[in-house]
């Protein structure tokens, strides 16, 4: 199996990405198990942050690295929290605090539509001049009451009208097919197959 460092210690992300990349014979190694510290995320876009994290993990490990930067964008809030989704309620905020702040800020808004964004960056080395980069979106509505226990982050409040479920109510295998991260990984896998001259 090919070793691939994942520039994340988020258990939910690790589990989703491991499941999606296993069929391609990748062994996904969370950076924390190698003692790699978390990278800075100074940029204003998901793509720039993902690439910075991937290069950081590859430099520290000497291995190919994959990073994602993802978050939720509420349309009535000028796409906030965006790249600050994981720390929306403060640098060390947890999911509950972040969700509470988002719901509070949307309390007087009639437009509750939002979308998740996932940007993925895969580098073969820290100075890879041709990283693989993918960015995808997943659209839904923010609801006040949490529903479901399968997801993480904003999933219990991210409602999908066409399915009448929140992201946290979906079966993990179903979520992996349709989520922002699932879409991004599917596109990344397609690009990997093309790059490696494998059948799609």
Domain-located, residue 156: yes
Q: What is the DSSP letter of 139?
A: E
Domain-located, residue 101: yes
Q: Count Cα neighbours of 87 within 13 Å in the Cβ-side half-sphere.
A: 8
Q: What is the pLDDT of residue 131?
A: 95
Active site residues: 69
Identify the CATH number of the domain in which residue 74 sits.
3.90.950.10
How far is CA 60 from each of CA 18, 38, 54, 78, 131, rounded to the nearest angstrom? Answer: 21, 11, 10, 36, 17
Q: Token match 């929306």: residue?
A: 88
Q: What is the pLDDT of residue 33?
A: 93
Domain-located, residue 187: yes
Tens digits of residue pLDDT in 125-152 = 999 999 999 999 999 999 999 999 988 8
Q: What is the pLDDT of residue 13?
A: 78
Q: What is the pLDDT of residue 50?
A: 96
Q: What is the pLDDT of residue 18?
A: 84
How far is CA 147 from each of CA 96, 121, 126, 167, rounded to the nearest angstrom? Answer: 13, 31, 40, 9
Domain-located, residue 105: yes
Q: Which helix (H) or strand (E) holds 105?
A: helix 95-105
Q: What is the pLDDT of residue 197?
A: 56
Q: What is the pLDDT of residue 196?
A: 65
Domain-located, residue 200: no
Q: What is the pLDDT of residue 151?
A: 82
Domain count, the chain: 1
Range of the domain at 23: 2-195
Positions of the chain with pLDDT under 50: 198-200
Q: How far apart are CA 197 and CA 185, in angstroms?
A: 18
Domain-located, residue 79: yes
pTM, 2 dp? 0.88
């Amino acid at each position: 199996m090919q070793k691939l460092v994942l520039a994340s210690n988020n258990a939910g992300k690790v589990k989703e990405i491991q499941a999606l990349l296993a069929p391609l014979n990748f062994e996904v190694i969370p950076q924390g198990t190698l003692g790699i510290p978390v990278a800075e995320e100074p940029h204003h876009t998901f793509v720039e942050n993902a690439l910075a994290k991937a290069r950081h993990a590859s430099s520290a490990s000497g291995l190919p690295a994959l990073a994602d930067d993802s978050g939720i964008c509420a349309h009535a809030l000028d796409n906030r929290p965006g790249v600050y989704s994981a720390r929306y309620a403060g640098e060390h905020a947890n999911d509950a605090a972040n969700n509470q702040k988002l719901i509070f800020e949307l309390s007087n808004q009639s437009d509750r539509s939002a979308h998740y964004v996932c940007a993925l960056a895969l580098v073969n080395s820290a100075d890879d001049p041709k990283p693989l980069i993918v960015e995808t979106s997943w659209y839904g509505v923010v609801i006040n009451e949490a529903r479901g226990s399968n997801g993480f982050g904003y999933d219990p409040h991210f409602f999908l009208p066409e399915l009448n479920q929140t992201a946290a109510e979906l079966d993990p295998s179903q979520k992996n097919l349709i989520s922002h991260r699932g879409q991004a990984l599917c596109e990344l896998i397609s690009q990997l197959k093309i790059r490696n001259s494998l059948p799609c």
